[in-house]
Structure 1
Amino acid sequence: MTGLFLNIYRKIMMVVFIVISTTVLFLIAGLLSTSNISFFKFKVNGDIGAEVFLRIIGYENPLIGHALTGANTDYPIFSTGFRLLTNVEMNDIRSLIRSEIPGFSAFDSNFLIAEEGVDFTDIPIESAPPIDVLLQERNIAANELKELNSGKVSSGDSPSEKSVFIYHTHSWESYLPLLGLEGAKNENEAVDGKTNITIVGELLGQELEKRGVGASVDKTNIGQELDKKGWLSYKSYEISRSLVQNAMAGNDKLEYFIDLHRDSVRKDSTTAMINNQPYARIVFVIGEENKNFQKNLKFANELHKILNKQYPGISKGVLPKKGIGVDGIYNQDLSANSLVVEVGGVDNNMKELKNTVEALAEAISQIYWKAEEVNG
C-alpha cells in the first residue's frame, strides 16, 4: 500500500513540476517579447558565423589573425565552444528557449542594417489565415476612403516606359482601420480580398509617375489564385514568381521590382511621428538564399539611408531572412534591384500610409534618376 501511495505521489509531483516549468517558460517568453532592456537585444551588423570561422582559422594561420586585428572581438573561444555544445548564445538569452516554444523562432532573424533603437521586437511577423478568410471582400471604411481621395490630383501623362514593377505576394494583407476595425485586438482580422495592400501599391505607382518614373502595378488576387490551384498560402511566392517572370518577358525595360507587404506587429512598432506628421514605418526584407543577395542589399541600404536622412526613423532597417519556414529567396534571384518592403502594420491608417508612400516614392525616384544620369 505504501508503494502505491509513493507512486501516486511521484506522479503528482511530476505533474506539478511540468506545470511550474511550463509557466516559468512562458513568463520568460513574454518578458523577452515585450522587454526593451538592452540585455535582451541582439547585436546588428555582425555575421557571427563568419567571424567565428575566421577566428578559428586565425589561430592556425597568423596572416588571418593579423587581418582580423581591430575587428569585433565579442566571440571568445569559451563562448564559441559553449554555443557549439549547447546551441545557447551567452549574449542572447532568447537562445535558451527558441527551440522550446512554437513560433518563437520568428524572432531569430537579426537586422543586418538597423535604425537606432530597433531590436528583435521590431522584426516583421507574418500570419496566414485560412483560405476562406483570405477570399472575403469588404469595402474600405468611409473615413479612410475620404482620406484616400483627399488631395488627389491628376499626375498628367504617365511615362510610356515602365521601369518599376510593383506586386503583392500576400495581396490579402490589409489594415484594421481600412476595414473599419481600428483598435481590434486580433491582428489576424486585418485580411481582405478587396481592401488590402494593393491600395498601397496603386498609391506608390501613382507617386512614382508623378516623379517621372514609369510604374506597372499588378493587383492579382493571390488568395483567389491559391484557391483555384488548391494550394496553401505558403505557396504564394510560386504564384507571384510567375507574375514577375511574365512582366519581365513582356517588358525588358523593367529594372526595379517591389513586393509590398504589411507587418503584423502593432502600432507602437510600426508608426512614427516625423516633423509633426504620422508615418507608417518600413522594413526592407532580403532573402539570404538568393544569388543577388549582395546587390539587393546595396539597393535596400541606399533606400534606407535616403529615407532616414529625409524622414528620420521611417525605415527600421534591412532584415535578411533564411532557414526553415522561410522562403529565403522572395523572387529576388530574378533581379539585382528587387525587395520585399513591409509598409506599416495592422494598425496603420490611410493618412500614415499615404505619407510613407510619398516618402518611399521619392527615395526610389532619387535612385532611378541618379542611375539614369550615370547611364547617360
Structure 2
Amino acid sequence: MIGSTTMTKVIARMLKQLQLVMLAIIAVIVITFVMIFVMTTTEVEKHFSSSTIHSWVSDVQADWFVHVIGTENRYFQMGETHTELPSATQLAFELTTSINLQEPRTLLGREVPGFSAFDAEIIVAGEGTDYTTMPMESAPPPGWYDETYPATPQDEEEEGPNVDIDADDDPIIHIVHTHDTESFLPEIEGDVANHSEINIVQLGKYLGEQFRSYDLPVEVSEHSIESRLHERGLSYSQSYDVSREIVTEAIDTNESLEFFFDIHRDSQPKDITTATINGESYARTMFVIGQDHPNYERNLAMATELHHRLEDRYPGLSRGVIASGGAGVNGIYNQDLSPNSTLIEFGGVDNNFEELHRSADVMADVIQEYIYEQLEEEE
C-alpha cells in the first residue's frame, strides 16, 4: 500500500515536471514567433542594426563602456580616467528611461514641449552658439497648404526629373530642399514664413549658379516635397522619406554625383541668424549632421572642414556644426546615401535674399575649393 502511494506521488511529480517543460517549450515558440513578427513587419529604418544599437546606448556614459572593455583588455584601462563610475542601478535607469540624472536636458527634452528640438550635440560651436541658439525646425501651420495650393489630382503629379541642370555636363553636385516651402518674412506678405514660390528653392538655385561659375556641374532639385506630402496624405515629419526618393532617383540617374547638399532655413530670429562682416550683413549658416547611420563620421569631417574654412575667411559667418541622433529626431537626413553629404541652414525667418546671396557666394567659394581638392586626390 505504501509502495503504491509512493509510486503515485512519483508519477504525479513527473507529470507536473513534464507539464512545466511543455509550457516552457510553448512559451519559447510563442516568443520566437512574436520576435520574428516584430522584426519582419517593422520599417526598414527600425530594424535591429548597428545604428539602432547606437541609438539605444547613445545616452549611456562612455566611461562605462571603457571600464567594461578594460576588464578584459588591460590596454583600455591605461587611458581610462579615474572618474567615479555610476552605479548599476543608475546604469539600468539610464537604459530603461534614456534619462541621465547628471544631464537635466535628457529629462526636460521629453517633458517640456518643444525642448527636444535642442536635443543635439554641438560638435563645433561658432560665435554665440550654445544650447539656447540651436536651429529650430517649424512646420507650416495646419491648413496652410490647402489655402496656398490649388487641388492637384493624383494623376497629374509631375513626371520626370524636375531639376535645373546644364544638359551637356554630368553633374557631380546635387542640391535638394527637403522643406521646400521654407521662406523669409522680409520677402513675402504675412507672418507665416512659408511660401509656394518665394522660398528656399530660390536660394538653392542661386547657389547652383555660383557652383557653375566655378565650372562645377550641378543639378538643383525643384521638386515640391510639400506637394507630395499633401497628395499622399503624409505628415510633415515624413519629409525626409520623400526627399530620399528624389535623391535616390538622382543617384540612379547620374552615377557622376558625389556631393549632396540639403538646403534649409532656420526659424531662429535675426539677431541669432545674422552677422555683420566688413560692414555688410550676412545670413549666418550652420551645418547639421545625422548620427544614426554607421558612416556619419565622414559627413561630419566634411562639415567640420567647411566650417573652419568659413571661419578663416569670414569669422562669425558659420554658427558651427551640430550632430543630431537618437529617439525623437530624424538622425539620418538621407546622409547615409553619400559620405559627402550635409544639411546646411542658411539664415532664418527674418533674413532677406540680399543677405542670403552674400552667404551663398562665400559658401560656394569655400565648397568649390574643397571639392576640387577632393577630386585631385581621387585622380
Q: How does the TM-score come out when normalised to structure 2?
A: 0.72
Separation (CA, whole Å) in 2 of partners of 1:370 and 1:259: 21
Separation (CA, whole Å) in 2 of partners of 1:337 and 1:255: 7
Separation (CA, whole Å) in 1 of partners of 2:74 and 2:342: 40
How far 1:78 moved relative to its partner? 5.8
Separation (CA, whole Å) in 2 of partners of 1:82 and 1:116: 36
Match of 2:19 in 1: none
Letter in 1 for 2:171: K
Pick the aligned partner of 2:343 from 336, 340, 352.
Answer: 340
Match of 1:142 in 2: none
Match of 2:216 in 1: 213
Do structure 1's residue 355 and structure 2's residue 358 form an aligned pair? Answer: yes
Match of 2:79 in 1: 67
Contact 1:58 1:64 in 2 (8 A): yes
Letter in 1 for 2:273: T
Contact 1:52 1:80 in 2 (8 A): no
How far 1:265 moved relative to its partner? 1.2
Contact 1:262 1:342 in 2 (8 A): yes
Do structure 1's residue 202 and structure 2's residue 214 form an aligned pair? Answer: no
Match of 2:317 in 1: 314
Match of 1:174 in 2: 183
Do structure 1's residue 236 and structure 2's residue 247 form an aligned pair? Answer: no
Q: How does the TM-score come out when normalised to structure 1?
A: 0.73
Match of 2:160 in 1: none
Letter in 2 for 1:248: I
Q: How does 1:79-118 map to 2 (within 5 A)?
A: 85=93, 87-90=99-102, 92-95=103-106, 97-118=108-129
Match of 1:282 in 2: 285
Match of 2:308 in 1: 305
How far 1:256 moved relative to its partner? 0.6
Residue ranges of structure 1 left out of the alignment (5+ in a row):
1-46, 139-156
How far 1:333 moved relative to its partner? 1.1
Separation (CA, whole Å) in 2 of partners of 1:194 and 1:254: 27
Q: How does 1:16-27 map to 2 (within 5 A)?
A: none
Match of 1:76 in 2: 84
Do structure 1's residue 57 and structure 2's residue 68 form an aligned pair? Answer: yes
Q: Percent identity between the aligned chains?
A: 37
3-state SS of the aligned residue for 1:99? Answer: helix
Of stretches 353-362 and 284-293 in structure 1, the one that deviates more from structure 2 is: 284-293
Residues 288 and 137 from structure 1, CA distance in 2 versus in 1: closer, same or farther, beyond 3 angstroms?
Answer: same
Separation (CA, whole Å) in 2 of partners of 1:280 and 1:158: 31
Contact 1:128 1:233 in 2 (8 A): yes
Contact 1:174 1:192 in 2 (8 A): yes
Separation (CA, whole Å) in 2 of partners of 1:122 and 1:83: 31
Separation (CA, whole Å) in 2 of partners of 1:284 and 1:97: 25
3-state SS of the aligned residue for 2:294? Answer: coil
Contact 1:137 1:194 in 2 (8 A): no
Match of 1:121 in 2: 132
3-state SS of the aligned residue for 1:112? Answer: strand
Separation (CA, whole Å) in 1 of partners of 2:173 and 2:327: 31
Question: How many residues are paired up?
Answer: 301
Separation (CA, whole Å) in 2 of partners of 1:79 and 1:190: 48
Q: Computing the radius of gyration over CA atoms, which structure comes out larger, 1 or 2?
A: 2
Separation (CA, whole Å) in 1 of partners of 2:168 and 2:362: 20
Match of 1:295 in 2: 298
Separation (CA, whole Å) in 2 of partners of 1:136 and 1:368: 42
Letter in 2 for 1:111: I
Separation (CA, whole Å) in 1 of partners of 2:341 and 2:366: 15
Separation (CA, whole Å) in 2 of partners of 1:320 and 1:159: 37
Match of 2:255 in 1: 252
Contact 2:171 2:257 in 1 (8 A): yes
How far 1:362 moved relative to its partner? 0.8
Residues 251 and 136 from structure 1, CA distance in 2 versus in 1: closer, same or farther, beyond 3 angstroms?
Answer: farther
How far 1:100 moved relative to its partner? 2.5
Letter in 1 for 2:114: G
